[in-house]
Structure 1
Amino acid sequence: MDQVPEPAFAPQARLRLAELAERLQAAVAAQVAAPTWLAAAVDQHAAEVRDALTDRHGRVRVVALAAYADGVLDTAGRRGWTIESSTRPSWPLLRLFAVSALTPSAV
């Protein structure tokens, strides 16, 4: 597999994703009593995000993942949705959980 150098702004992308993970932790606490299908739903969303963002080397880049998360937050935010106001597993919340799940393996 070809070695692809990490972009100079990858550390900022990692920081952005770490901040997102912290915000999601509070949402997870609110979902503690969530049904067992929640993990399966997050896995499905993660597969879709991974398919959409995998580069020609077969990897998900951290910068692409951070940009994707920002896009989800921006689009949902224009509709009045926030992580903090989410009281049930909505599409944006599931998508952001998926991004967070993919973050440790992103390069």
Structure 2
Amino acid sequence: MTHIVAVTACPSGVAHTYMAAEAIEAAAKAKGWQCQVETQGSIGIENELMEEDIKAADIVILTKDIDIKNSQRFEGKTIVRIGVSDAVKRADVVMSKIEAHLSKSTD
């Protein structure tokens, strides 16, 4: 089973951070994948990813609108950087691209 972790954050740290998290989770689950999303919003880090979650991840999705805190945790992982609006509006397209990438790497 494909395992994805993600961190979402936006400049204001309010609505789009959480909308992006929901969209990524929903799109991953629609593919039958495991997905955990950490949010870095105006109230700080929520649902912080644990080291074992990161180790188990096939792909890491990071929103790129502002710097992600503690991004060094993801060194050595395959990272996909997307805009928070792409996460909100096109999470299914992002997941399809990830699926294509993963199928090529296992061929």
Higher strand share: 2
Larger Rg: 1
TM-score normalised by structure 2 residue count: 0.31
Higher helix share: 1
TM-score normalised by structure 1 residue count: 0.31
